Chains A and B, each alone.
Chain A
Amino acid sequence: MTTQTISGPHAVLQAQARWRAAEIAFWLATLLPFVLAPDYLVLASQVAIAALFVLSLDLILGFSGIISLGHAAYFGVGAYTAGLVSVHGWGEPLSGLVIAGIASGIWGYVTSFIIARFRHLALIMITLGLGLLLQEAANAASWLTGGFDGLQGIHTWPLFGKIDFDLYGYTAYSYALAVLFVVFVAARRIIHSPFGLALRGIRENGARMPAIGASTHSHIRTIYTIAAVIAGLAGALLSQTTETVSLEALGFQRSADVLVMLILGGAGRLYGGLIGAVVYMVARDQFSGLNPQFWYFWIGLLLIGVVMFLPNGILGGLAFAAERLKAAARKRPPVSAP
């Protein structure tokens, strides 16, 4: 019945939560652009912002099974809030970031009451609807948002009052990367907490959760609000580092893009979304000479390929390959697909 050696209950759980060498290598690699590609730091900052946004979606979709086609709404609230704070005379980035996170968190908390009550297809429609609603509202309230033309006159003050945002993106990437890392560590902590376990329970079998005494609705409201804060931070970073915000910050396209990045990289594994963001953003940059329809042709092809051949995304495929190699090395039958 058991081939596994019997160990106490704690060792395995502790091993799961431990930082791995590959993780440390990953974060060290995020510093490489400073050395290897100093001309691409602006792009790198956009990648870091996208990665932060994907991380937010991974918390709800990958870990909790809450599907969203309107996640850009929270990104947009953060972006516009940070922009508006700056336009109205306060360009200090860190406090602007916090204010934006609070604003998107509030919107996330309010909408989470609707979100928590639905699942599956209904949830797709509701998140889509909420996203479109907000976009139209932002368009209509052009006195506030600048409407179609976007918000004019954003100016971001130097970081800590000293470090200017330079044209080469040095500060922008440092800033975005630092925020990404801090939020990532927090997200990782959430995943390995009892609450993170409850989220996985909801993803695996939400209907069973009440039968073990869980209030799924309140769990979902909590993680949805946290995810909204993170999405808002990503939005704020974008408007602060580019000093522009337009309606596309909360458009459907952005919601779709973030979903694609997550699926490409692999949902429910924290790093999957980050890798998806890198692949997607870098590929888009490389193809930017082509016209947009062409770009989406290739993205469409890539998506179909990944979903067909790597159902758990790029990272899922890598993990599977690593398992196979390890299993082969141990000369034991391989563990089945992740």
Chain B
Amino acid sequence: MSATATSAAALSTRGVNKRFGSLVVAADVEIDLPAGVRYALIGPNGAGKTTLINLMTGMLRPDAGRILLGDDDITALPPQARVRRGLVRTYQINSLFPHLSALESVTLAVCERRGVARTWWRPLTAYRDEVDEAYGILGTLNLAAVCHRPTRELAYGQQRLLEIALALAARPKVLLLDEPAAGVPRDESNDLFAAIAGLSRDITVLFIEHDMELVFRFASRVIVMVGGGVLTEGTPAEIAADERVRAVYLGERPREALR
């Protein structure tokens, strides 16, 4: 399945294994994400998609296998070191800073990236560039108007956007989005994915998504996971035509029907 990986891979996994007790959640996962590609990661509930993101970003340690960012083996690096190298994620369930405003949250992320979050003798207001950059990111995601509100007061859809804003503040090379539109109404999720599609082509994007229509519209390639293993990988058209995928995934009741 690395036939497409002729161009340099931005992120790769090599023989990654992980189990929780007797439950296998990653079984010899070998993935190559070519730079600049928009990948969708799909699979039924409990397939191990979120776990794979946790393994890639260092939130979990694999039992075996290696994670490569570009040519660098990052398997031993802690999560924050991977973020600083440009491997950034968002969360399926919002993980934000409830009492910080959106602007404060994103400014914090910018400060961390620029290495100024350790300075305690200069006021934050002296870091105008950092604040401006954060404000700019919020602007691109239509959050500028609410940027001074505490996060917990934002509408759910806005909080989902803030998840992405926080990730963008880290200037990702590889961006892993865990169901960015989870729980967002259909009309809003289109906007949200339009924002993702509008990201710079320098950023390699992998997103997990259950809604097949969104997957087919926004992904150039699709990876299908089942039971911790990669079932197959291909273009959306190939995946749609694949009998095995149909059997394990598309054959199920479509997600939309459950909504």
Contacts and interface: CB of A to CB of B under 8 A. Distances in A.
A294 to B, nearest CB: 38
A30 interface: no
A211 B88 CA distance: 7
A190 B80 contact: no
A1 interface: yes
Contacts of A200: 97, 99-100, 104
Contacts of A119: none
B135 interface: yes
A198 B111 contact: yes
A194 B119 contact: yes
Nearest to A198: B117
Interface in A1-51: 1-2, 4, 6, 8-10, 12-14, 17
Interface stretch (A86-94, A167-175, A212-220, A242-250): A212-220
Given A200-B100, A211-B88, A193 B120 contact: yes
B148 A193 contact: no
A193 B124 contact: yes
A209 B95 CA distance: 10
**Which of A6, A201, A211, A218 has most B Cβ within 10 Å?**
A211
**Contact count band on A:** 35 or more
Nearest to B136: A9
Contacts of B153: 336
Contacts of A190: 120
A192 B108 contact: no
Contacts of B103: 9, 12-13
A334 to B, nearest CB: 13
Contacts of B100: 197, 200-201, 204
Contacts of A13: 103-104, 124-125, 131
Contact of A213 (B84, B121, B144, B155): B84
A187 to B, nearest CB: 10
B141 interface: no
Contacts of B128: 10
Contacts of A197: 100, 104, 107-108, 111, 117, 124
B57 interface: yes
Given A9-B134, A9-B147, A212 B170 contact: yes
A212 B107 CA distance: 11
Given A2-B146, A9-B131, A210 B124 contact: no
A139 interface: no
Contacts of B132: 9
B125 A214 contact: no
A213 B95 contact: no
Contacts of B88: 211
A192 B104 CA distance: 11
**Which of B120, B145, B147 has most A Cβ within 10 Å?**
B120
Nearest to B95: A208
Given A9-B132, A197-B124, A208-B97, 8 more contacts: A9-B134, A194-B108, A194-B124, A195-B119, A198-B118, A204-B100, A208-B95, A212-B170
Interface of A: 1-2, 4, 6, 8-10, 12-14, 17, 189-190, 192-198, 200-201, 204-205, 207-216, 218-219, 222, 226, 336
- 6 tightest A-B CB contacts, nearest first: A195-B120, A204-B97, A213-B83, A9-B135, A210-B79, A212-B109
